[in-house]
Structure 1
Amino acid sequence: MAKRKGLTIKSNKLVMVSAAFQDHITQRLLHLSLSDPLLQCKRKAHRNPQARGSVEKKRLQTQDGQEEREYVLDPAPYPLTLAQKMGLMASPGERLTEGEWALVKARSVAQEESNQPCAVCREEFRLQTQVLLSCSHVFHRACLQAFERFSGRKCCPMCRREQYETRVIHDAAHLFRHQCATRIQACWRGYVVRRQYRQVRKTICPKDKELRRKFFEAKLQELNDSFVQYCHSNTEAFLSDIDRSLSSSRQVFQQLERRRIAEPREDDWDRIQSQVIQRGVHDCPICLTALCSLSLPSEAGRSNYQQDRHIVLLSCSHLFHQLCLEAFEAFTEDSRPSCPLCRSFYHKKLI
């Protein structure tokens, strides 16, 4: 009887163990079939394209409206099988906590995993989705899924660690945005500095002798080009501008000369009169008739007409008949006429 009871107990244990193993294998195969990437791709392919477009649009709106957050991709752990409860099979490890994920991410940052290209495709992460494994290695999400699909098992492409956990992170995207912003700012600052430097070079003459020579050569070339272009475009306007410039310059010089000329004193008039006597002037430059002698104002033999015509001495040492000079002054447009010979402003004295 005791032997039969022992055999019965052993047989019952064997039946329970076999049932536990069978349940464990069945659930594992079911879980593997549900998590098969090929089946997931087929299911996604059979979906309605309009519904897929709406889901994609909703996902983009969610990314735009909310801040980028990190989350774990692995599904919730399956319930323990009978074999795992009985201790016949090893139970899966517990999920990593937020503190443990922080340590894993800190180790990844220390190794600068996000600054290096993806180990699968050897391309930069940029703005593509990035995943962090529990072994602190970083990959593209699409690259990791492709590696798992073609390898047929879940192991890290770098350290071959199995049964890892994955978490979506955005470190590489943040670094890429920072690099882009830095590059844009550097380009803009360089453009502003180059524009200011070109403006300075156009306006300020350099101190170096060679650069100074090139600076003035460039200025002269610009003036020549503008002159030629202006002449070809409108010659009459160019000449009229020159006339206006000359007239304005002449007016300025005339005003300065008027201010500068002071009325000669008696000694100055004597000196001017001695210059005229030495020069030997005998005719009026306006009427071209004979003038009276300065030394003999009442010379015999002159007609009454010549005696009535008085002589005027100018401060510029020129002699004229008084009537001739008054007629000249009456026909000139200037308020203060100039000498008919030397075109200089004068003071006059009757002699």
Structure 2
Amino acid sequence: MQCPGFVKVAKGHSSSKVDGRKLAIAAVALQDHIAQTIPHLKSCSRTHPAASSRTHRARQHHKETGPEPVEYVLDPDPPPLTLAQKLGLVAAPERRLTAEDWMEVKSRSLREGDSTQPCVICTEEFRLQPQVLLSCSHVFHKVCLKSFEHFSGRKCCPVCRREPYETRVIHDGASLYLEKCAVRIQACWRGFVARKWYKDLRKLVPPNDPQLRRQFFEAKAVCRDVSDCPICLTSLHSSKAVLLLSCSHLFHEPCLRAFERYCSETTVTCPLCRRMYTSRPVGAHGLTTL
């Protein structure tokens, strides 16, 4: 038969043993947490396989899938929770952004038009250079942000001063730049086609201005290099007067007048192209005045 005093001593001894065990577990958990968080001790400790870089996996996926641009999170995967964090002795890190969160951040950046503006750090367009999107929806060149972090010594957004942040590689600036280049190429080609069409049209359609119209037909007649009259088949460079028709054909004046007198039709047309015409003299000695 046990006495009440012995029971009290046994219970006290058991509770102190349990408290000591909890204290030992807490001490080991804190020691493990310090070893994994302090830089010079972290290199000596064993790293978990899950802490591999997400960038490396994204690059491997990019090589396997081909040249199509792939968006990926630039920051490495967070290390697993330590025992101290699981026990609540140390505050756990903030939750990483999910794919839905990144879509919301990207949509906010598109609404604000950050990719259409130059990079805030180097004040140059993004073009085809690598581009990163921060969790605060601001966009920078990947190289510019890396240099900013190197010289500032901390991860702080150059615009809103938010820290820390997560980064994701995107290609919105490259897509906008390619679209802009395509628009410029199409505009240049359409302008070339329109100018060529207008030049060809000017060669075929005479202008409405009388003086320009006369120059148009004179130039067209000279380009034909006609040396004989189509009616009498003699040289136009003879002493006979030469008439230039509005359809750019040349005739001896006596030949054309004779053709008009003997023509049975009420409306006289050109003997060659059958068009209605108006005539003007081009000189007493044929084409010497053209």
TM range (shorter): 0.5 to 0.7
1:118 alignment partner in structure 2: 119
Helix, strand or coil for the counterpart of 2:38? helix
Task: Give how far 1:223 is off.
Answer: 6.6
User: What letter matches 1:154 in structure 2?
Assistant: K
2:153 alignment partner in structure 1: 152
CA spacing shift, 1:21–1:115, aligned 2, 3 Å: same
2:79 alignment partner in structure 1: 78
Larger Rg: 1
Task: Give how far 1:221 is off.
Answer: 6.4
TM-score of the pair, normalised by structure 2: 0.60
CA distance in 1, matches of 2:70, 2:192: 37
* 1:242 to 2:251 alignment: no
CA distance in 1, matches of 2:224, 2:63: 58
CA spacing shift, 1:76–1:61, aligned 2, 3 Å: closer
User: What letter matches 1:29 in structure 2?
Assistant: I
CA spacing shift, 1:215–1:146, aligned 2, 3 Å: farther
Q: Deviations over 1:61-114 (max 9, x none)?
A: 768x34222222222220112321222222112222222211111111111111
Task: Give how far 1:144 is off.
Answer: 1.7
* 1:23 to 2:32 alignment: yes
1:216 alignment partner in structure 2: 214
TM-score of the pair, normalised by structure 1: 0.51
Unmatched 5+ stretches in structure 1: 35-55, 228-240, 261-351
| Aligned length, in residue pairs | 218
Task: Give how far 1:129 is off.
Answer: 1.2
RMSD: 4.1
Say whether the 8 Å CA contact 2:35–2:41 is kept in structure 1.
Answer: no
Q: Deviations over 1:129-168 (max 9, x none)?
A: 1111221111111222222222222222222222322222
1:179 alignment partner in structure 2: 180
Higher percent of residues as helix: 1
CA distance in 1, matches of 2:29, 2:63: 47
2:287 alignment partner in structure 1: none
Say whether the 8 Å CA contact 2:62–2:70 is kept in structure 1.
Answer: no
Share of identical aligned residues, percent? 48
CA distance in 1, matches of 2:88, 2:40: 20
User: What letter matches 1:146 in structure 2?
Assistant: S
Task: Give how far 1:14 is off.
Answer: 6.2
1:134 alignment partner in structure 2: 135
CA distance in 2, matches of 1:190, 1:29: 64
CA distance in 1, matches of 2:62, 2:232: 74
- Please show how residues 176-325 of structure 1 align to structure 2 within 5 Å: 176-207=177-208, 209=209, 212-217=210-215, 220=218, 242=227, 247-248=232-233
